[in-house]
Amino acid sequence: MPRIEKIKLPDIGEGVAEGEIVRWLVKEGDEVKQFQSLVEVLTDKATVEIPSPYSGRVKKLLAREGERIRVGSPIAEIEIEGGEAPAGENVEEAVKVEEKPQAAAQAIEVGEKARQIIRAPPSVRRLAQELGVDLSLVKGTGPGGIITKEDVMRFYEENIKRQKQEARVAVQETVGVRPVERIPLRGIKRRMAERMIEAKARIPHVYLAEEVDATELVRLRENLKQIAESKGVKLTFLPLVIKAVVKALKEYPLLNSTLDYEKGEIIVKKYYNIGIAVDTEQGLVVPNIKDADKKGLFQIAREIEELASKAREGKVGLEDIRDGTFTITNIGSIGSTIGFPIINYPESAILGIHRIVRRPGYYEDRLEPRYYMNISLSFDHRFIEGGYASRFLAALKRYLENPLLFLAPEDEFR
């Protein structure tokens, strides 16, 4: 006898209490297999796909796209045969282990039975995995229904196009004689709005700024660019800034800490996971460079490029964005000369780096063309005094103006 089972939003971990239904990957009446992805869910950490714990038919979808659902709440009903065994905790493990958006479909290998159902050669499977495509949803046009690379690319491009259209469901209205456009605040943008409100409500922000003579920094980057390119690395100014920031944080550790106000404790981090704010079409994403103090300049540059690419493709996972200790936002890459960012709560501070400009300046009592850059610091004034933050910013200025001070231990340039 068939029976109805309710599918609940599983515990995704990392203290996640709720998620937003971004997109259903199935509809009512569809036949689904165990571990097939049912829905994309956005948490305040990342986007994940929730797999089905059963094989059966989708009886009813209990949550709408855009709706916020608490962990443990039912999201769908599936009609299954009486003998079907549930996947149990494997559903939660499928999400936790992979910790990547659009990748839960690859988190569990169903075995040879699944391989017989999905007819695709290894090269096509690799392509699908790289693009985050669920092959069970792709219609094969090759001989005997075999899925080809063209089928995967066609499905991927159509999926991306649909996601962009859904993200900008722009409703044109007319109020009197004035046209307006209404864009739903959903997904990452809504999370970003909530996090900004939380940060400003909880943290009394104080702001400082310094002007940096970046001439030596510019000269060093120019000298290292050719070496970096020979290693397949694109060297921007950000890796250099990260190395200087870590050096300054070790001198002023309160900037690399969080405040547990309820317990009355300042938690000073003895590791340095430096967040980099990435501007994407979906909103601001902040992955972080893990253990930046233990990595070389070119390794940091390579990781920045990889993380930024993943962020813009919507493939940043929980592992990429959790456990950050201090954040840098490179506003200057867009063109800003000064600005004061909001702290990435629960961190205690955030650094803004701004556009480098060339103008006349005095150096050793002579006027000559120099490069200048503004840096700005927003910090938590509940437990960080202005003098302490000013000394941190002065130390950072000193390192940026004399980059050999923070690169001295490096041996990767030999």
Which residues are known catalytic residues? 381
Residues 27 and 110: their CA atoms lie apart, in Å, by 22
Pairing status of strand 326-330 against strand 274-276: parallel
Residues 413 and 362: their CA atoms lie apart, in Å, by 31
> Dmax of the chain from CA atoms?
91
239 membership: H or E segment, kind and range: helix 237-251
Amino acid identity of 232? G
Q: What are phi and psi of 52, to 5 degrees?
A: -80, 135
Q: Is 279 in a helix, a strand, or coil? A: strand
Residues 265 and 324: their CA atoms lie apart, in Å, by 18
- Among 185, 228, 218, 339, CA closest to 277: 339
Residues 240 and 235: their CA atoms lie apart, in Å, by 9
- Among 345, 317, 194, CA closest to 257: 345
Residues 273 and 298: their CA atoms lie apart, in Å, by 16
Please identify which residue in the block is written with the tokens 């046209």: 179
Angle at 40 between CA 60 and CA 91, to 5 degrees: 80
Within a 13 Å sphere around the CA of 338, how many CA atoms are in the beta-carbon half? 8
43, 204, 246, 268, 324 from 348: Cα distances, Å: 22, 10, 15, 10, 11
Amino acid identity of 307? L
- Among 15, 16, 24, 17, CA closest to 7: 24
Q: Which residues contact 198 (CB under 8 A, 6 or more apart)?
A: 345
Amino acid identity of 262? E
2, 6, 119, 157, 395 from 77: Cα distances, Å: 12, 4, 29, 30, 59
